Structure 1
Amino acid sequence: MVGKLRLEFAHRPAQGMVETVPMAHRAVKRSESFLREVLMSHRCFVGIALAATVIFVATLLAEDESPKAADDPSPVATAPNIPTKTLGGREFWGDVAHFHGWRIQHNVLTKHYRLIDGDDVRHAWGTREQCQAKLDEIKRDRKLPKMSGEGVLLVHGITRSSKSMAAYRPPLEKAGFQVFPFDYPSTRVDLDAAADYLHQVIESLDGIERLHIVAHSMGGVVTRTYRAKHHDERLNRLVLVGSPQKGAELADLMRGKANLVFKTIFGPAGQQLVTDSNGFLKKLPTPDIEFAVIAGGHPPNGFNPLIPGDDDGIVSLESTRLSGAADFLFVESLHLALNRNDATHAATVRFLQSGRLRVDGEPQPIPREEK
């Protein structure tokens, strides 16, 4: 049984009100620190190289978000809900329904649900039915209209949250799209489970007539996994940004030489990102919708000496080139910085509108026969 720690609400909404918070995440963080120390103390070259790789990757992954330890793994309530500010769900939460900025989320550890608004304030917790009933009540009381129009789902990568995709929202909304930032517990579930969270959210988007997806890094693999299992006819176009469609060489390196570190930090989905010819990625079909690829790097040899060829520090350029893409665009950029790059945003909007990444010039499709 997971140990629990009683913590008072930071804002003290009422005398004596407390929340129980699982200590699992603290244990994970301690394990990560210990494992890094073990690797750094290893005197062989491979140990030092692997430690450097883990630290390099962790540095890149931490560059644009607050520590995940501050997330709110709130338990099932037995008393009326007190509106509580959360971080919106990063490590332990997966979205299952969206409505005009409101989200119902599922906790992967405690298995309960919560309802949060567009400012990440919790309005209900308990079963999914209880959260849905509260959302229905809010719809009636506030006379919220049905959703309609054209939507874009933003799917983040491993160890990230929807906050890492926030810079896409202004240009997409300016272009007339409704934007749905999607969260899932990327380091706690495998790719099939992550795809099931995405499926539930897509099913919840009643009234949206046409739907697109913009997916960064592992989010692109989650999207392909979803599409291999489900076929919502509204899904029209897909943009894959810095996504390791052929696997990640860093996953190969760390899984083979530092498997405990790799499992601890990146979870079950991370282990599925290997380039193994018989691995999970090799079995995924090419998306049956129109899609484009945007990749980062630094010619000619990339940012990371441990990755062969050009790379964005995390993913090789070659791995992003998924056969069958309608268009391809290279942006000189680090992996996470792709999400904050104006050229990436402009190309994404353009492709969703017209099927082309560039204003001028011919598209650069990736032939299906390319291996």
Structure 2
Amino acid sequence: MAVTKPQAVVLVHGLWFSGYILFVLARRLRRQGFIVHTFSYASVRADLHANAARLAHFLEALDADTVHLVGHSLGGILIRALFHDHPQQKPGRIVTLGTPHGGSRVAQHLSRFSFWRTVMGKSVAQLLAGEPQHWTVPPREIGAICGTRSVGLGRLLYRGLPRPNDGLLTVKESALAAACEHLALPVSHTGMMFSRTVANQIGHFLVSGKFLVV
């Protein structure tokens, strides 16, 4: 009888952060029985393709037959870049948290200013240019979590952000048409990384391919 290797979960952070920002989420998923890893990347200095290559190398080194991927914000776009550039990945499910699948009005507004273009970096520039719209959606079960608590820096920098939004992205921007499950929760863009409810929903989806009924 073959012995199967344990399933792994890899958490991918968003713009301006590192994997450390996901320590609460990682701890909660470990308590649910998952073996959790966090991946850090240069969200400003490197572009999506360079970071996708680094993520592919990171995943190759994991001793697991199944690898689930969870991406917050820009991290969800990086997961899509991974499958575009390196499609031969181990089986597993994907959850995106407040990911700008449909672009970002706030980032588009800020990109008019040279300071913000520099601060947001190469990966966001590719997002705003629409590059991810031409990628095939990863052939995986994908769940997209969107926030509806309108609190965050985006509201201060762009006051015309339509509701419902998570303080940075509208629900429409963070939805993915090809996802098999969508879930809107009363959390903010940053707050969803620290939410117990979000962690429980992620765990349920990774096991079953469905979110819990709210």
TM-score, reference length from structure 1: 0.53
- Judging changes above 3 Å, is the alpha-carbon distance between structure 1 residues 306 and 194 closer, same or farther for their aligned structure 2 residues? farther
**What is the aligned counterpart of 1:355 among 198, 209, 213?**
209
Which residue in the other structure is 1:346 paired with?
Answer: 200
Matching of residues 139-288 of structure 1 within 5 Å:
148-205=5-62, 207-256=63-112, 258=113, 260-274=114-128, 279-288=130-139
Question: Separation in 1 of the partners of 2:116 and 2:136?
Answer: 26
Which residue in the other structure is 1:140 paired with?
Answer: none
Q: Between Structure 1 and Structure 2, which shows a larger proportion of strand residues?
A: 1
Question: Separation in 2 of the partners of 1:285 and 1:306?
Answer: 31
User: Contact between 1:297 and 1:332, CA under 8 Å: does it hold in 2?
Assistant: yes
User: Contact between 2:28 and 2:196, CA under 8 Å: does it hold in 1?
Assistant: no
* Cα deviation code 1:291-331 (max 9, x no counterpart): 101011237xxx82332332111111101110121111111
Identical pairs, percent: 27
Which residue in the other structure is 1:335 paired with?
Answer: 189
CA offset at residue 264 of structure 1? 2.3
Which residue in the other structure is 2:177 paired with?
Answer: 323
Letter in 1 for 2:36: V
Question: Separation in 1 of the partners of 2:173 and 2:45?
Answer: 24
CA offset at residue 233 of structure 1? 4.3
Figure out how many residues of one structure are paired with residues of the other and give that number.
205
* Secondary structure in structure 2 of the residue aligned to 1:208: coil
Question: Separation in 2 of the partners of 1:284 and 1:223?
Answer: 11
The RMSD of aligned alpha carbons is 1.8
* Secondary structure in structure 1 of the residue aligned to 2:65: strand
User: Contact between 1:238 and 1:291, CA under 8 Å: does it hold in 2?
Assistant: yes
- Judging changes above 3 Å, is the alpha-carbon distance between structure 1 residues 173 and 252 closer, same or farther for their aligned structure 2 residues? same
**What is the aligned counterpart of 1:289 among 128, 136, 140?**
140
Question: Separation in 1 of the partners of 2:131 and 2:162?
Answer: 22
Letter in 1 for 2:45: R
* Cα deviation code 1:89-139 (max 9, x no counterpart): xxxxxxxxxxxxxxxxxxxxxxxxxxxxxxxxxxxxxxxxxxxxxxxxxxx
Structure 1 range deviating more: 290-299 or 208-217:
290-299
TM-score, reference length from structure 2: 0.90
Letter in 2 for 1:251: A
Question: Separation in 1 of the partners of 2:92 and 2:149?
Answer: 31
CA offset at residue 214 of structure 1? 0.7
Question: Separation in 2 of the partners of 1:221 and 1:171?
Answer: 23
Larger radius of gyration: 1
**What is the aligned counterpart of 1:306 among 141, 160, 174?**
160
Gaps of at least 5 residues in structure 2 are: none
Question: Separation in 2 of the partners of 1:149 and 1:228?
Answer: 26
Question: Separation in 1 of the partners of 2:89 and 2:110?
Answer: 39
Gaps of at least 5 residues in structure 1 are: 1-146, 362-371
Runs of 4+ in 1 over 3 A off after TM superposition: none
Question: Separation in 1 of the partners of 2:88 and 2:67?
Answer: 9
CA offset at residue 185 of structure 1? 0.8
Question: Separation in 2 of the partners of 1:282 and 1:232?
Answer: 20
